[in-house]
């Protein structure tokens, strides 16, 4: 015997209808093959839409971009009929690109449920299928054993902080890296190292900041060992200044908003082991980095999973979660909330996890590594053609950076106004990028690699070159 719900989910007629819908969308999006400008008859109406969208939230859109609801792979159609390369994918949210058949099927399966949202009090089965798969994958190379689901990356981080604070009560301080970004909630903006994000609001958490790994600074100090020793001395200073006062050390293993900064593994391990000696939980924030290195988890990429106590994930996974080890298990009642997420968050999130697990994406010869290599080859060729666009950046010798699906390029000396102008000029030419860093600033790309082919990079760099040339002129 099956339930009515199971009968709906396994219905052959519904499956055929889903296949028909996906096939129709694939046929309709077939003409989306390259960048193109807006359709003249749509430009006036589109301008009104963009203005209205800005007015509805109180300030203009950063880019005058409103999607039509269609795309194909790394190409997205806007509501004015134009098509652009989507190289930032909503800061990684759309990592599988646009109108991806597997994602479409998962979305449509999500529509079969009797409710839009799932909650902690009343829930269907699919959120816990997602959670079990996430824990299974995370537990391969870590001690992470449980997951709690929530609605956003910032909320996942809020819950992680609660888990750490309860475990270390009455400790209230947090250790974090300089240039970190934690989210937009009141507490997370207190921890994040951005004064602009805290403009006009109070700081609610006491934070002690540690310098992030910097190869140039290490060289100035006399080498990696000297930099590690200096970092450990700084950590020890905080521990002695506030005995038993720290609830956790939160670490973006690869900094996102801070500039796609990638640390040295030995330095990372030294800090994590020092935290263990002092009983300070290590919280690994992979809201932006998850899935995008040459391993599924950044802690796998660095081989530090056994040293992670608490972990947060979101963005690419659609559904968001905090995970912890058995030793960090919170007491009942600490974590709750009305929503865990929408049904399609979990059907799509589960599809993404299973696809990443089964695919050809990871490892030194995987697709993500190959895309990173292709990006670097074309970036190096661009720099060779236009050396004046890429002057040396003090303290940041590398003007091409990143790993896997996290890519950065540093034109115009990393000057904020010129990098932002370059991103906007590139948008006008037909590609969506963004920026990151706190000085120097970088062009940031989180392209939808699972939906891309290596032979698309030449066309992408033609657009980047046209945009950069406008700013250089």
pTM of the model: 0.96
What mean pLDDT comes out for the span 323-341? 96
117-358 fold: 3.40.640
The percent of residues above 70 in pLDDT, for the chain, comes to 100
Distance (Å, whole) CA 372 – CA 282: 29
Residue 396 has pLDDT above 80, yes or no: no
Say if domain 362-473 classifies as CATH 3.90.1150.10.
yes
Question: Euclidean distance between the first and final Cα of the chain, in Å?
Answer: 71
215 pLDDT band, cuts 50/70/90, is: very high
257 pLDDT band, cuts 50/70/90, is: very high
Distance (Å, whole) CA 236 – CA 241: 8
Q: Which of 190-196's residues contact partners 24+ apart within 8 Å by CB, and which partners?
A: 191/161, 191/250, 193/258, 193/438, 194/257, 194/438
Domain ranges of the chain: 117-358, 362-473
The percent of residues above 90 in pLDDT, for the chain, comes to 97
- C-alpha to C-alpha distances, 271 to 90, 236, 252, 278, nearest whole angstrom: 32, 10, 13, 11
As given in the structure block, the two tokens for residue 464 are 């980047």
Query: How confident is the model at residue 395, as a pLDDT?
Result: 78
Residue 79 has pLDDT above 90, yes or no: yes
Residue 1 has pLDDT above 90, yes or no: no
What mean pLDDT comes out for the span 142-153? 97
Query: How confident is the model at residue 281, as a pLDDT?
Result: 98
Query: How confident is the model at residue 248, as a pLDDT?
Result: 98
What mean pLDDT comes out for the span 445-459? 98
Residue 397 has pLDDT above 80, yes or no: no
Buried b (16+ CB within 10 A) or exposed e, 61-72: eebbbeebebbb
Mean pLDDT, the chain, rounded, equals 96
Distance (Å, whole) CA 173 – CA 164: 10
53 pLDDT band, cuts 50/70/90, is: very high
As given in the structure block, the two tokens for residue 60 are 């203009």
Residue 359 has pLDDT above 90, yes or no: no
What mean pLDDT comes out for the span 72-81? 98
């Amino acid at each position: 015997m099956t339930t009515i719900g199971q009968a709906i989910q396994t219905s052959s007629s519904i499956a055929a209808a889903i296949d028909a819908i996906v096939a129709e969308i694939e046929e309709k999006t077939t003409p989306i093959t390259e960048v193109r400008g807006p359709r003249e008859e749509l430009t006036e109406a589109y301008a009104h839409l963009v203005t209205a969208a800005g007015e509805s939230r109180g300030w203009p859109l950063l880019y005058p971009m409103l999607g039509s609801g269609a795309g194909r792979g790394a190409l997205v159609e806007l509501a004015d009929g134009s098509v652009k390369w989507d190289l930032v994918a909503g800061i990684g949210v759309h990592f599988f690109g646009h109108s991806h058949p597997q994602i479409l099927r998962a979305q449509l399966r999500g529509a079969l449920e009797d409710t839009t949202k799932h909650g902690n009090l009343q829930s269907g089965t699919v959120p816990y299928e997602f959670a079990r798969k996430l824990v299974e994958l995370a537990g391969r190379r870590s001690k992470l054993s449980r997951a709690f689901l929530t609605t956003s990356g910032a909320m996942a981080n809020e819950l992680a902080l609660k888990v750490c604070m309860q475990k270390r009560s009455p400790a209230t301080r947090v250790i974090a890296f300089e240039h970190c970004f934690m989210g937009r909630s009141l507490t997370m903006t207190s921890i994040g190292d951005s004064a602009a994000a805290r403009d006009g609001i109070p700081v609610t958490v006491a934070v002690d900041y540690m310098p992030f790994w910097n190869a140039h600074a290490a060289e100035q100090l006399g080498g990696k060992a000297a930099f590690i020793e200096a970092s450990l001395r700084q950590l020890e200073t905080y521990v002695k200044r506030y005995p038993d006062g720290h609830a956790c050390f939160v670490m973006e293993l690869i900094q996102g908003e801070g500039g796609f900064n990638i640390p040295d593994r030995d330095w990372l391990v030294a800090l994590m082991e020092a935290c263990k000696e002092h009983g300070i939980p290590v919280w690994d924030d992979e809201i932006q980095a998850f899935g995008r290195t040459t391993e599924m988890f950044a802690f796998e990429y660095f081989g530090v999973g056994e040293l992670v106590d608490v972990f947060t994930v979101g963005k690419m996974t659609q559904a968001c979660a905090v995970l912890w080890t058995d030793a960090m298990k919170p007491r009942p009642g600490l974590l709750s909330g009305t929503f865990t997420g929408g049904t399609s968050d979990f059907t799509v999130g589960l599809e993404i996890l299973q696809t990443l697990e089964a695919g050809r994406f990871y490892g030194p010869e995987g697709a993500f590594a190959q895309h990173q290599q292709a990006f670097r080859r074309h970036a190096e060729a661009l720099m060779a053609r236009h050396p004046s666009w890429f002057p040396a950046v003090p303290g940041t010798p590398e003007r091409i950076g990143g790993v896997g699906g996290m890519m950065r390029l540093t034109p115009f000396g990393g000057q904020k106004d010129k990098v932002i102008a370059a991103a906007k000029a590139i948008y006008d030419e037909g590609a969506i990028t963004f920026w990151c860093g706190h000085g120097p600033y970088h062009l940031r790309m989180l392209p939808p690699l699972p939906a891309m082919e290596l032979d698309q990079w030449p066309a992408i760099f033609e657009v980047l070159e046209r945009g950069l040339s406008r700013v250089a002129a």
